Amino acid sequence: MEIIKDLPEVFQEFAEQRRNSFLAVKKIKEEGIPVVGAYCTYFPQEIAMAAGAATVGLCSTSDETIGEAEKDLPRNLCPLIKSSYGFAKTDKCPFFYFSDVVVGETTCDGKKKMYEYMSEFKDVFLMELPNTQGEEALKLWKSEVIRFKEYLEEKFQTEITEEKLREAVKLQNAVRRSMKSLYQVMKHDPAPVKGYDLFKVLYGSTFKFNKEVIPAEMEAIAKKIEEEYAAGKMEEKRPRILITGCPIGGATEKVIAAVEDNGGIVTAFENCTGAKTYDRLVDEDAEDIYQAIAERYLSVGCSVMAPNPNRFELLGRMIEEYKIDGVVEMTLSACHTYNLETRKVRKFVTEEKHIPYMSVETDYSREDIGQLNTRIAAFLEML
C-alpha cells in the first residue's frame, strides 16, 4: 500500500478497522470462504490458512455482554472470559457469528470451562496446550497441531498439503517481520509517534482478512514515520514506558491513555497485542514443518507456562533495546496466572534491570479511570 495520507488519518483508519471488518467477514462467507475464529496467541494460524480459511481474533474487550454472561458464569471470573462468552452467547459479535469453527486452547481453567459451555451452541475445536515448554510438552503440542490439521481437512473437505502449509508459513512470517519493523520505530529517542497511535495499527491489523497486503502496508507506514522523524517531526521527550501483562484492546486501552495523558509515552508493548505475537518466526527451512510450527507457538512466553523463561528473555531484551524508564504491568481481575506472575516480573524489573515497576489490576468497566490516572501520574512523576 502506498501511504500518501497523513499519519493521523492512517492511525484513525486502523482504529476503525475492527468495526469496518464486520461487513468484510460477511462478504467472505458469501464468497464461500470458511472462517476460523480464535482467542489466543497460541492459535497456529498457518494451519487454517493452508486450509484456505480466513482467520480472525474473537477476544471481546468490553463489558457490554458481561451481564448476560454472568447468567451462566460466576461473577468473580476474569472479564476477558465473561466478555468473550457473552458476545458469543448473544451473537453480538459478527466474527463469532460467521466463524465455521472456534479454536480454543487449554491455557487456563476458566477458558477451558468457557469452551465447554460454548460448544453447546458452536463448533469448538479445543487444543490441549501443555503448561510447560520441555521436550515432552513439545511432542504433545506437535500432535495437537497435526490433529488440528486433520480436523480442518475433514470439516472443510480439503487437503492441507505441505506446499500450502509452507506458503502459509512464509506469508505469516512476512507479516511478523513487517509488524516488527513497524513497532521498532519506537527505538528512537524521543519517540517518533505516540504509543497509542502505534497500538491502533498493531491491534487494527489483526482484523484484516487479506494478509497478503499487510507486509507492504506496515512497511509503508514505518517508512513514512522514519521520513517524518528524519525531517524533525517527533514527540517531545517523555519517560519511556513498556506495558506488559494481560492482552490489551478495547476497554483496557484506558491504561495506554492513562500513561500518555499524564506525561509518559508507551514505547513498547510486550503483551499479546505487541511483541509477544510477532517476535519469533517459524523456521521456513525446517525439514519437518509441523515440528517447526509447534516449536514456534509453544515458545510464546505466556504466564500459563511454568516456568516461563521466554517472557523474561523478551522483557529484558525490550527494556534494553527501547531504553525503557519504567514498566507498567496491566493485569485483569481474576486472571490468576498473570496476577501470580506479577511478583516475579516486579523482581526481574527492579532487581535485575534496576528500573521502576508498577502493576495495575483492572477490568472492562470505566469506573477506575480516575484511580488509574492518579496512580500512573504519581508513578510517572517519580520517574
Residue 4 domain-assigned (yes or no): no
Least confident among 14-18, 70-74, 130-134, 345-349? 14-18
**219 lies in some domain:** no
Does some domain include residue 313?
no
pLDDT at 376 over 60: yes
* DSSP type of residue 108: S
Region 37-46: mean pLDDT is 97
Whole-number average pLDDT of the chain: 96
CA dist 262 → 30, 239, 258 (Å): 46, 10, 6
pLDDT of residue 4 exceeding 70, the answer is no
How far apart CA 140 and CA 298 sit, in angstroms, is 10
Residue 380 has pLDDT above 70, yes or no: yes
What cell numbers appear for 30 in the block?
458469501
Predicted confidence at residue 61, as pLDDT, reads: 86
- CA angle at 217 for the pair 216 and 221, rounded to the nearest 5°: 115
How many structural domains comprise the chain? 1
**Where residue 2 falls among pLDDT bands split at 50, 70, 90?**
low
In the sheet that holds 101-105, the strands lie side by side as 54-57, 35-38, 101-105, 124-127
Distances (CA, A) of 66 to 57, 91, 129, 266, 331: 19, 13, 26, 29, 18
| CATH at residue 29 | 3.40.50.11890
**Residues 171-205 pLDDT 10s:** 999 999 999 999 999 999 999 999 999 999 999 99
Nearest alpha carbon to residue 19 among 78, 75, 95, 84: 95
Question: CA nearest 74: which of 66, 84, 64, 62?
Answer: 66
Per-residue pLDDT, 120: 97
Domain assignment present for residue 300? The answer is no
Q: pLDDT tens for residues 318-335?
A: 999 999 999 999 999 999
In a domain, 102, yes or no: yes
Average pLDDT for 226-252? 97
In the DSSP assignment, the letter for residue 365 is S
Residue 117 is assigned to a structural domain of this protein: yes
- The mean pLDDT of 136-162, rounded to a whole number, is 98
Q: What is the pLDDT of residue 60?
A: 81
292, 289, 290, 345: which is closest to 318 by C-alpha?
345
Q: What domain range includes position 76?
A: 13-160
In a domain, 238, yes or no: no
What number of residues does the chain have?
383
Whether 287 is covered by a domain: the verdict is no
**pLDDT class for 114, splitting at 50, 70, 90?**
very high
pLDDT range class, residue 1, cuts 50, 70, 90 = very low
